[in-house]
Amino acid sequence: MSTITTKDGTEIYYKDWGSGPPVVFSHGWPLSSDAWESQMVFLAANGYRCIAHDRRGHGRSSQPYNGNDMDTYADDLSELIEKLDLNDISLVGHSTGGGEVVRYIGRHGSQRVAKVVLMGAVSPLMLKTNANPAGLPVEVFDKIRAGVIADRSQFFKDLTSSFFGTDRPGANISQGVRDAFWLQGMQGGLKNQLDCIKAFSETDFTPDLKKFDMPTLIIHGDVDQIVPIDASAHASAKLIKNATLMIYPDGPHGLADTHKDKLNANLLAFLRGN
């Protein structure tokens, strides 16, 4: 397997497919880089080098007890980018991975970055506060924590309903796709996934978004039940200068599977500058 070892000794697994301008993908919770395979195959076939890693504590990467926070996730991403010596990168982040990408820009700058795509991203802040009334109450995240602790396997199976929108009329998602979600989730470490809930829900990315100075595409489904669109995509679009907001009608959270052909086409067009 291809891995790097970070400064704190954590092994980060990554896949590196194709050749051409680099596109680096960051996945959502509780998944792994496998969540991006449809996009990676498509873009690699169209002349791009596609790189995706398993976040620490997820997939095939190490499961350290500490460092399961957004700052460290962003630093891990930076170490991967630097060790592969990538430049003029297009960063693509989904959900928690969107937060990871945003925090990377905030902590490490945009010198190596050409473009950014945020899809169903958790930024700027998921948690409801006095300053963020469109967010979700902390009780929502406490319920996720309780479900993961009580029966992680069943919780992930149940989560596929809202993640892919299978509870909505007209949904056409196979059991196989839902099983793949469960499998990816079960590869991660329990401690890591519990810590990550706090990281993706309570981190305020507002200062990071204000540092964006590159073309940015924001993609979000208008029936996303995981990351509410008003507190995320609409808010981020107001904070990022000249961002392009693309809303998918009837789109749930798991757009990489439910709308993969449309997403692939939109990504390719954005990367090509069309």
Is 95 among the residues known to form the active site? Answer: yes
Contact 269, 240 (CB under 8 A): no
Q: How far apart are the first and last CA of the chain?
A: 35
Helix (H, G, I), strand (E, B) or coil at 50: strand
Give φ, ψ of 169 to 5 degrees: -60, 140
Helices 175-187 and 138-164, axial angle in degrees (round to 10): 140
Catalytic residue among 34, 76, 224, 257: 224
- DSSP H helices, 21-137, are 37-45, 70-83, 96-108
Catalytic residue among 26, 62, 95, 232: 95
Helices 70-83 and 190-202, axial angle in degrees (round to 10): 100
Cα dihedral 246, 249, 255, 259 sign: negative
Is 58 among the residues known to form the active site? Answer: no
Nearest of 242, 200, 231, 237 to residue 218 by alpha carbon: 237
Is 220 among the residues known to form the active site? Answer: no
Catalytic residue among 27, 94, 253, 259: 253
User: Does 124 sit behind a cis peptide bond, omega within 30 degrees of 0 on the bond before it?
Assistant: yes
Neighbours of 62 (CB within 10 A): 19
> Which residue(s) pair with 26 in the sheet?
93
Q: Report, as residue numbers or ranges, the catalytic residues.
A: 95, 224, 253
